[in-house]
DNA sequence: TGCGAAACGGAGGATAGCTCCGTATTTAAC
DNA sequence: GTTAAATACGGAGCTATCCTCCGTTTCGCA
């Protein structure tokens, strides 16, 4: 895991941490989530040792880099959801999660891991997702057997599928919509077999 | 791509190719699809150069290793589907595809690539999937806007999600069922009618 | 200003991927 | 059976990346 953001870091340490996060975002955006960490360090004009002191693994760096984005996602979702019906709120949340997972090519494969890091953004996002899901389930709009982890996995998976080279750009909305239909409580389609 | 299976290989070459495929299956099963290719060569008691001569990339080796399995999948599906309604045939096909993708840990992430290699098994599987999908669509059971690639992607994605450490073992059937519900033609949104 | 703690940098060991080419084996012609 | 060309083999070694370790530098407090 990475250093606590609010910790009592020395001024140079805090500056370097900031530079690393900026560089990581740039490099991951350009070259994907499996880019060389040496490149990240170079871009930040910092030694590789410094990178590893601040972020003990690629996952930790990824998690920290995504953290702010996730915080924003959670916050916006909370605000928006007040004015939306439960199902719709969940739908938008799912769409944004898919989008987030596609932020860096290859991120999706590690997003599950990322979301298990207990940084602020991750916790906020999972809490918000949980809330939306439960609300929609209590309203009878979504199947009761679904777990938040399922939703996260599928968001990640759809994003991953979309990242394939030469993929149809319509694929993401198509798959997202399809998955979403599957989430919904079915009006007891008789003869439809159970899963 | 790998050597043509039926080609006029020298006897020693054919023997080594066989050994490599056996070793690859063993190593990938034990250590996942990103296992060291050096290990595969060692297990086959063959030089690493020989491995690369026969299979120019990890994907080619994976594709060849999966090929037979895919051939079987396609053949069984074709036989089975004669006795099943279109939707059910497609459902079983999807389930088996998910299962195949989970054959080696981490394979799912490359299965899309694997299925684009034009080996016999891959071609057979995509042809069969296409046939099942079109049949179900013509019967009005499945949304018309779905492409086979979507189905393949989701199968791969579900398998990937399931491979996560500590995942709920019920997740695969749950997600598969959900996705499948999403595939189906909807009988006029919610509550309207049922079938 | 001086000193201890904190942080820095990057050399270099470890590991994996992949290429290259000298050597060995096979095959077919004679 | 001999021989020569074609084919295939093996693995050393080059490259690239990851990550650790430790001598050096910077910071900040007194």
**DSSP states of B29-80 as a string?**
HHH-TT--HHHHHHHTT--HHHHHHH-SSHHHHHHHHHHHHHHHHHHHHHHH
- pLDDT at residue A141 is higher than 50: yes
User: CATH 1.10.10.60 residue ranges in chain B?
Assistant: 1-56
Nearest to B158 among A147, A157, A183 (CB): A157
Which residue spans of chain A are classified as CATH 1.10.357.10?
Answer: 60-183
List of B residues 20-79 with CB within 7 A of strand D: 45-50, 52-54
Instruction: Please report residues of A whose CB lies closer than 8 A to that of B182.
Output: 177-182
Based on the number of CB atoms within 10 Å of its own CB, is B76 exposed (0-12), middle (13-18) or buried (19 or more)? middle
Q: Which residues 37-66 in chain A show a CB within 8 A of chain B? A: none
Q: Are A130 and B137 in contact (CB under 8 A)?
A: no
- The confidence band for B193, taking pLDDT boundaries of 50, 70 and 90, is very low
pLDDT band at A22 (very low <50, low <70, confident <90, very high): very high
CB neighbour class for B21 (10 Å; exposed up to 12, middle 13-18, buried from 19): buried
Alpha-helical (H) ranges within chain B are: 11-31, 37-43, 48-54, 58-81, 86-101, 108-114, 120-138, 148-163, 171-183
User: Which residues of chain A are within 8 Å of residue B150 when distances are taken between CB atoms?
Assistant: 161, 171, 174-175, 178
Least Cα distance to A64 among A77, A48, A47, A51 occurs for A51
Q: What is the pLDDT of residues B105-158, one digit of tens each?
A: 878 776 666 677 778 888 999 999 999 999 999 999 998 988 898 888 888 878
pLDDT at A143 over 50: yes
> Chain A within 8 Å of B148 (Cβ-Cβ)?
no
pLDDT for position B107:
81
Distance CA A147, CA A124 (A): 17
CATH of B64-195, one of 1.10.3720.10, 2.40.110.10, 1.10.357.10, 3.20.20.10: 1.10.357.10
Q: Which residues of B touch A174 (CB under 8 A)?
A: 145-146, 150
Question: B158, A156: Cβ pair inside 8 Å?
Answer: no
Nearest residue in chain B measured CA to CA from A151: B175
Q: Provide the pLDDT for residue B2.
A: 41
**Pick among 2.60.40.1180, 3.30.465.10, 2.60.40.1120, 1.10.357.10: CATH of A60-183:** 1.10.357.10
Q: Does A139 touch chain B (CB under 8 A)?
A: no
Residue A134 pLDDT > 50 = yes
Q: How confident is the model at residue A111 (pLDDT cuts 50, 70, 90)?
A: low
CATH topology classification for A1-56: Arc Repressor Mutant, subunit A (1.10.10)
The b/e string for A131-147 (b: 16+ C-beta within 10 A; e otherwise) is: bbbebbbeeebbbeebe
Residue A190, pLDDT above cutoff 60: no
Residue extent(s) of CATH 1.10.357.10 domains in chain B: 64-195
Is the CB of B161 inside 8 Å of chain A's CB atoms? yes
Q: Which of A170-184, B17-31, B51-65, B86-100 has the lowest mean pLDDT?
A: A170-184
Task: Say if B180 is an interface residue toward chain A (CB within 8 Å).
Answer: yes
- The secondary element (H helix, E strand) that includes residue A126 is helix A120-138
DSSP-based three-state secondary structure for A8: coil
Contact A191 B192 (CB under 8 A): no
Interface of A with B in 59-98 (CB under 8 A): none
Query: Are A153 and B147 an interchain contact pair (Cβ–Cβ within 8 Å)?
Result: no
Cβ atoms within 10 Å of A183's Cβ, excluding its own: 24
CB A70 within 8 A of CB A100: yes
Q: Is the pLDDT of residue B190 over 70?
A: no
Angstroms from A15 CA to nearest CA on chain B: 35
Percent of chain A with pLDDT over 90: 47
**Nucleotide with the nearest C1' to B15 CA:** D8
Identity of the highest mean pLDDT range in A64-68, A171-175, B66-70, B131-135: B131-135
Flag the least confident range among A30-34, A53-57, B79-83: A30-34
Contact B161 A154 (CB under 8 A): yes
């Amino acid at each position: 895991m990475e250093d606590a953001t609010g910790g009592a870091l020395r001024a140079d340490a805090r500056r370097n941490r900031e530079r690393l996060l900026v560089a990581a975002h740039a490099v991951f955006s350009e070259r994907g989530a499996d880019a060389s960490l040496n490149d990240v360090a170079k871009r930040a004009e910092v030694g590789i040792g410094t990178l590893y002191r601040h972020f003990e693994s690629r996952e930790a760096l990824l998690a920290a880099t995504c953290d702010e984005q996730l915080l924003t996602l959670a916050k916006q979702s909370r605000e928006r959801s007040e004015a939306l019906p439960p199902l719709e709120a969940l739908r938008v949340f799912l769409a944004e999660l898919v989008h987030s997972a596609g932020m860096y090519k290859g991120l999706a494969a590690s997003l599950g891991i990322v979301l298990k890091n207990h940084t602020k953004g991750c916790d906020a996002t999972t809490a918000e997702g949980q809330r939306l899901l439960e609300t929609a389930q209590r309203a009878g709009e979504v199947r009761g057997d679904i777990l938040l982890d399922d939703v996260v996995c599928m968001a990640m998976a759809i994003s991953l599928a979309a990242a394939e080279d030469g993929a149809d750009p319509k694929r993401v909305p198509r798959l997202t919509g399809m998955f979403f239909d599957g989430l919904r409580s079915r009006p007891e389609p008789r003869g439809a077999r159970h899963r």
